[in-house]
A and B are shown apart, each in its own frame.
Chain A
């Protein structure tokens, strides 16, 4: 077994206090919330931490709240809180639904959304889905706060654009408009998902054109969107979407960046992108037509 090496623990009650500790201790201090990723890294000796800065006592950091059209999930909100949040179930039901399938039940009760995103594990359902929600991360430091799109925040596997003195305080999601049909598909036989697909199809509405949002993740260093495919698909009606699903999926497979690892080879992931993007379009097209498709696939979670 591996025990943790001794470290100091600070429990600031404000962001200012947290920032002060970070600044004072530089690289030897790490932000800590759920610890489901960080403590593992510490156990494995992959990071050496002299000081944990526990931000769970900072007021409001775990809140899930609405801000006009956006929904803000506080960085220290647990996956479990996301799962049962009435607000999210109403405004972003897919987010609540996917939270139910992150890792295992213990990680869901302890792990946080912010921790998940900040860790930037390539195999992240949360990151994959949030990319399709045009998520913006709120990064706070004493000099000020900035917002960064998730796409710009995630630089690669385990690599983010967070500066050492910045604290991730929340994620701003832009719920899809009413009438959007969506689905999240997660496939994989291993402990971490081999592939995740988030798809949202919004019909043209009052003053707003139709929109399609497609995100594929877990297959490469970070999740991806497909602007070209989204534009093409946005011009299609529901029936055409279903019919053109194979072609759209092939386009996604051609464009996706995949990497081989213990959860699958790059070529397999590329083909699975094709398979599951197509399946996602089929499911979403059915949902857009008011049906609930009953197809089930092995080792696949459909939200």
Chain B
């Protein structure tokens, strides 16, 4: 396609804006099905215990209760699910492995009855020794969260999972090149330190929810607040022994996801309850229960870096332990992704990276924006600044010296670096006025990151051009706020040369919208977007072909413009072309796009289709007496190839930065021996409007160098990652004190400052 872009690159209003501002937008919890029942889960109060006795008689006796089930009552299905290990039961089987694990389900005519009945369920437990920290879980002879080897799941990159038998390590990842041990030993400067990243929770404002119903033909439909309907579908098909064609997953709008709604969560139990009762069943959990459903994997990362006197980074070693909680969820992939790019955007000839996925008796850890990379970047980018200090080098300069170049290989067989790190770094440095020293009471810090998306993956899409020249896009990308549906409409509108208002994007529905692997890993614009682009191009090809035949000119002479085929003696509108094609005022042209890059020789078994890259620069002030950090200015630069919708990109990155601010300054899940103490919004502190830095800038580098449509790459996760090391580095430059633990709450900073000056009162 030649010529300037019409719709792509414009900040068109998002497709769902009007319904959201008028309160008409519908989420799973807004759905009402005739005869729908309401479910409640009874959860374990213990971190680790044997289930001795379950008494549901009083619960079952509550009027309008339609069913009460413990694990043994869910017959005719495999109770276990999980994308890496099928280790997680819908309802606990014999043993509970974390405080909050569902044990019994109650179904009733209304919420009140379900709540009342749930309170009457009586469960006797025998407490078992538990491990609720990495230290406890990794100690020799530690009690095991899972006895016996769990079963493997269904993804290519997770087809071999390496547990360490007899321990709580369920998977290990190694990546190495060169001779890191020798190089480190010989390096003029080596540094080593250990950093920890906290347990935090997504707090999507809409907690998880699902409605399930089986029809008379034994087909299951689930309306789910999920980011990957196709993953949920395959999970349900396995559990219930159904062909995929008889499982349908529909996804209306999500009230936030951030990774917490990837892979099956509530859908299995709701489906089982629907089958048990023969009715539609709805399960909408509370925010408190969302904290007991999924969280980010906390991690402890030991980093070693080796430099020459000139500042060349020659060797790196990382040993990371990730706490995946009681059930692995996608933890094994998280440790791979997080560790693979541990060294970020730098050229490091010798490295040894190792990470463990460790079970503990706590809320299962799962995907969360950044997917393991924030945990590693917190450590590596902090130690990098320490290296700068030791080498008496400017931290920006030291980074610049070691950056991978555009087009350079990251790892054999993997996608070459498809962005210009230096450009991003320079823009961030300029925006924060790095070379003009900070005021005496301010500190500045910078951090960079690089992240692989996932591969190989498959995205398919269809575009239907209707008889009146309007179009419908069928793609299973889920709308969770990021604006993906709008982006797909823009791509189709661009290719088809029609107004974006004439493009409808169908609700993701596995019965209707074709396969898309997942809405996560920042992949949708690139992968599903390309599928949509291809599908629209397929329609364009058909339009040109029919028009060419009718006009008697080669198709190459024709082009699409304003809903018509132009370039011949006559201009044919799309309705004209369809009438030509079908001989009547009906019919439609259907285009198809399939994006399925194959496996490569790269370490994770598949090329990432693009690298997500971002830089963060922070300027902070400190109230040293209280330890309170104020972020006065934050600059984010993301190299995204092309912003299909600049306003949406900026909105995403502002949100990413603030969410990063959350785990950097405010958020942590507090546990006391396996009991979660602050699973509510009074005691778990997420960012508020008042936390917005006075100056927040989100910049984009657009060199159209991505594999996605119009040169786009992915966005949405990258800008979150540098927040904690940038602020940590800024704090250190201001105070000379280095904190290795997040969040940097006032109290934590206060303690660190006092530890430095023991005589200060």
Contact = CB atoms under 8 A, between A and B. Distances in A.
Any A–B CB pair closer than 8 Å: yes
Interface of A: 1-3, 5, 45, 187, 189-192, 250, 262, 264-265, 268, 271-272, 274-275, 297-299
Contacts of B746: 189, 298-299
Nearest to B288: A2
- Residue picked from A1, A5, A187, A265, most chain B C-beta under 10 Å: A1
A189 B286 CA distance: 24
Interface string B682-725: 11010000000000000000000000000000000000000000
Contact of B626 (A5, A262, A297): A297
A265 B747 contact: yes
A118 to B, nearest CB: 19
Q: Which of B625, B665, B677 has most A Cβ within 10 Å?
A: B625
A189 B684 CA distance: 11
Nearest to B625: A275
B628 A262 contact: no
B681 interface: yes
A1 B38 CA distance: 12
Contacts of B630: 298
B629 interface: yes
B190 interface: no
B115 interface: yes
Nearest to A195: B626
A262 B666 CA distance: 12
The interface centre, meaning the residue of B116, B623, B629, B666 with most chain A CB atoms within 10 A of its CB, is B623
Contact of B286 (A2, A271, A275): A2
A268 B111 contact: no
Contacts of A265: 747
A191 B683 contact: yes
B286 A1 contact: yes
Contacts of A191: 681-683, 685
Interface string B288-310: 00000000000000000000000
Contact of A5 (B116, B678, B683, B747): B116
A297 B683 contact: no
B255 to A, nearest CB: 14
B434 interface: no
Contacts of B670: 262
Given A1-B284, A189-B746, 17 more contacts: A1-B111, A189-B666, A189-B745, A190-B685, A191-B681, A191-B682, A191-B683, A192-B682, A271-B761, A275-B625, A298-B621, A298-B623, A298-B628, A298-B629, A298-B630, A298-B746, A299-B746
B563 to A, nearest CB: 48
B335 to A, nearest CB: 30
B27 interface: no
Q: Sorted from nearest, which 5 A-B pairs have the closest CB atoms?
A: A298-B628, A191-B682, A275-B625, A298-B630, A268-B747
Do most interface residues of chain A lie in helix, strand or loop, or is the interface mixed?
A: loop
Interface in B83-118: 111-112, 115-116
Interface residues of B, number: 29
Main secondary structure of the interface of B (DSSP, over half): mixed
Nearest to A271: B750
B685 A272 contact: no
A189 B666 CA distance: 8
Contact of B623 (A5, A190, A271, A297): A297
Interface string B595-633: 000000000000000000000000001010110111000
Contacts of B111: 1, 3
A190 B116 CA distance: 32
B112 A3 contact: yes
Interface string B620-654: 01010110111000000000000000000000000
A249 to B, nearest CB: 11
- Most chain B C-beta atoms within 10 Å of own C-beta, residue among A187, A262, A265, A275: A262
A102 to B, nearest CB: 14
A192 B684 CA distance: 11
Given A1-B111, A189-B746, A271-B750, A262 B625 contact: no
A33 to B, nearest CB: 21
B747 A264 contact: yes
- B626, B677, B751 interface centre (most CB from chain A within 10 Å): B626
B747 A297 contact: no
B492 to A, nearest CB: 39
Contacts of B116: 5
B115 A189 contact: no
B750 A268 contact: yes
Nearest to A188: B746
A250 B761 CA distance: 9
Nearest to B743: A189
Contact of B628 (A3, A190, A299): A299
6 contacts: A189-B745, A190-B685, A262-B678, A268-B751, A271-B750, A298-B746
A48 B407 CA distance: 67
Contacts of B750: 268, 271
Nearest to A298: B628
A187 B626 contact: yes
Contacts of B621: 298
Contacts of B286: 1-2
Nearest to B284: A1
A268 B626 CA distance: 9
A271 B761 CA distance: 8
Contacts of B112: 3
Nearest to B750: A268
Contacts of B119: 45
Interface centre among A5, A265, A268 (most CB of B within 10 A): A268
A5 B678 CA distance: 24
Contacts of B683: 190-191, 262
A278 B115 CA distance: 50
A290 B749 CA distance: 35
Interface in B660-682: 665-666, 670, 677-678, 681-682
Interface in B109-144: 111-112, 115-116, 119
A116 to B, nearest CB: 15
A277 to B, nearest CB: 12
A264 B761 CA distance: 18
Given A3-B111, A3-B112, A299-B628, A262 B747 contact: no
B669 to A, nearest CB: 11
B89 to A, nearest CB: 24
A264 B119 CA distance: 33
Among B111, B630, B682, chain A packs the most CB atoms within 10 A around the CB of: B682
A37 to B, nearest CB: 12
B511 to A, nearest CB: 30
A293 to B, nearest CB: 15
Nearest to B745: A189
Interface in B739-761: 745-747, 750-751, 761
Contacts of A274: 761
B721 to A, nearest CB: 23
Interface in B528-564: none
B684 to A, nearest CB: 9
Which of B112, B629, B683, B746 has its CB near the most chain A CB atoms (within 10 A)? B746
A101 B379 CA distance: 38
Contacts of A192: 682
A225 B132 CA distance: 41
Contacts of A271: 750, 761
B115 A2 contact: yes
Nearest to A192: B682
Contacts of A190: 682-683, 685
B518 to A, nearest CB: 28
A265 B682 CA distance: 17
A265 B748 CA distance: 10
Contacts of B761: 250, 271, 274
A297 B682 contact: no
A275 B623 CA distance: 11
A190 B691 CA distance: 12
Nearest to B207: A1
B731 to A, nearest CB: 13
Nearest to A264: B747
